[in-house]
Each structure stands twice: as structure tokens, then as C-alpha cells.
Amino acid sequence: MDSPEAAPEIREAAETIRGCHHAVALVGAGLSAESGIPTYRGTDGIWTKFGEPTIDGWELFRRDPEQWWRDALDRKNRRSEFSTAIESAEPNAGHLALAELERMGRLQHIITQNIDNLHQRAGSVAVTEIHGNRTKARCLSCGERVPLEQVSLDRLPPLCAKCGGIMKNDTVMFGEPIPSDALRRCQVQANAADVFLVIGTSAVVYPAADFPVIAVRHGATLIEINPERTPLSALANIIIRGPAGESLKCIVDLLSA
């Protein structure tokens, strides 16, 4: 159904997506804010309110994987506000709209920085999780990813059933290199895009924040959806200053009309 009240920038975004060949979206924590998962940065971000935590997870893991797993299992029993929110979250209108855009053939790929598994639960298939997925474990040797519940924790650290390598949680820690398969897919997508959407990201975490810049250099039209200004705003051709869920749903409605 058409939305006669849609703002001009939302109409322009919909028309740009309608006319493009290869649309890619870079997604950040802001998309899942409407599912009740706090962001890190931005006005209501938990780091904005309480400060940034010590960033030494990867160092701790490398030093002693067994102890890291013991601590992680212990932390699981002492749920934080963040982990409670992420565990109970459901896909929102924004996740559903992105999945719908893919089904309509209007969105070719999502590069997500989110680890919450909500894209898949909403029905998106072409997704690269550049920072991993909290529901999976990954082998540090061969890169095999498996659901966490299939990993035997009888021995710590758990070992990969395929190659015997050390498994860690799939979520990429600060300081940890981005898995090379994910990085390659992102680079391919950034080069292929003629429309690049940046949705709900503060665009300060690298290398993720580089992909829109690469796409723009290749001539892509940049569409930003974020209630707040980001370092990418200056590069954006179309800016939607609103919540992702409502804005994306409106775009889908216009493209379905």
C-alpha cells in the first residue's frame, strides 16, 4: 500500500532502491534498539551513559582459552541487563523490512555488525556477520562455525569436531582480527554496490565503517538511516533522520505499491 504521508527523503530512498542493480546495507546496533537491545553509542547507548568497558577480551582468550571459557560459563549464570535484553529480543519492523526487501529482489546483501541473530530470525538469508553471531562458536584454525548448543563443554577449551582446533565464541572480540571469509565477502559487496544503505550505526568501528566509503568511491549512492548524525553523514546522498524500523517499513510499502 502506498504511504501518501511518506517524507520526501523516504520516497527518494525508495525510488533510488527501485532503480538500482545491487543494494547492500551496513547495519549497526541501532536497528536492534527497537527490539529492546541497548546500543553502545548514541544518546541512549550504554557506553554513552556508563563509559566504555576494558577492552581486553581477545588478549585474555589468547593467554588462556580454558580460563576464558570457565569465566564465560560463569558469566552466563550472572546475566547482565544487556544479555537479558539480547536473549529475549524479537525481530522488529526494521529486521522484517530488510528481509522483505531481500525477498522482493531489492536488497542483495546485509553486512551486519550485530551479533544478535535477529536478521536470520526475520528471514534474511544473504547476511555477513562481520562481528560474528552470539549463538555460534567458531574454530580458530579452520573457521568452521557451529551452534553453541552443539559444542561439547566437557573439555575446555572445546575443540573443533572437524579439525581439532580451539573453538571460541563466534562473537568477534575487541582486538581480534575479523574472520577472513567475512571480510572478503564484505569487500566484494562494497565493490559491487550501486546503492549502499547505512542503518543504525555510529560508523566509528573499523573496518565496518570503511565499506560505505569504498562503495561511494565506486560511485554508489549512500543512504543513511539514523536519528543522529554520524561521520558518514557528510558523504550521504540521502539522509533519513528517523528510527530504522518505521523508515524501512515505509520504504517497503512504497516499493510494494
**Residues with catalytic annotation?**
131
Closest approach of ligand NAD to the CB of residue 162, in Å: 26
Q: In this complex, which beta carbon is closest to ligand NAD, that of residue 29 or of residue 160?
A: 29
The sign one gets for the Cα dihedral 77, 139, 144, 161 is: negative
Q: Which stretch binds ligand NAD (CB under 6 A): 68-76, 109-117, 162-170, 211-219?
A: 109-117
Closest approach of ligand NAD to the CB of residue 49, in Å: 12
How many residues bind to ligand NAD according to rule CB under 6 A? Answer: 28
Residue from the set 20, 170, 230, 250 that interacts with ligand NAD by CB under 6 A: 230
Instruction: Name the grid cell of 7.
Output: 517524507
Which residues, other chains included, contact 19 with Cβ-Cβ below 8 Å and sequence gap of 6+?
Answer: none
Site string for ligand NAD, 22-61 (x = CB under 6 A): ------xxx-xxx--x-xxxx--x----------------
| Beta strand ranges found along the chain (DSSP E) | 23-27, 109-112, 127-129, 136-139, 145-147, 167-169, 195-199, 221-225, 238-240
- Chain position whose Cβ is nearest to ligand NAD: 30
How far, in whole angstroms, is CA 130 from its chain's centroid?
A: 7
Instruction: Name the grid cell of 192.
Output: 559491487
Closest approach of ligand NAD to the CB of residue 113, in Å: 4
- According to the 3-state scheme, what is the secondary structure of 213-244? HHHHHCCCEEEEECCCCCCCHHHCCEEECCCH
Binding site for ligand NAD (CB under 6 A): 28-30, 32-34, 37, 39-42, 45, 113-116, 131, 200-202, 205, 225-228, 230, 243-244
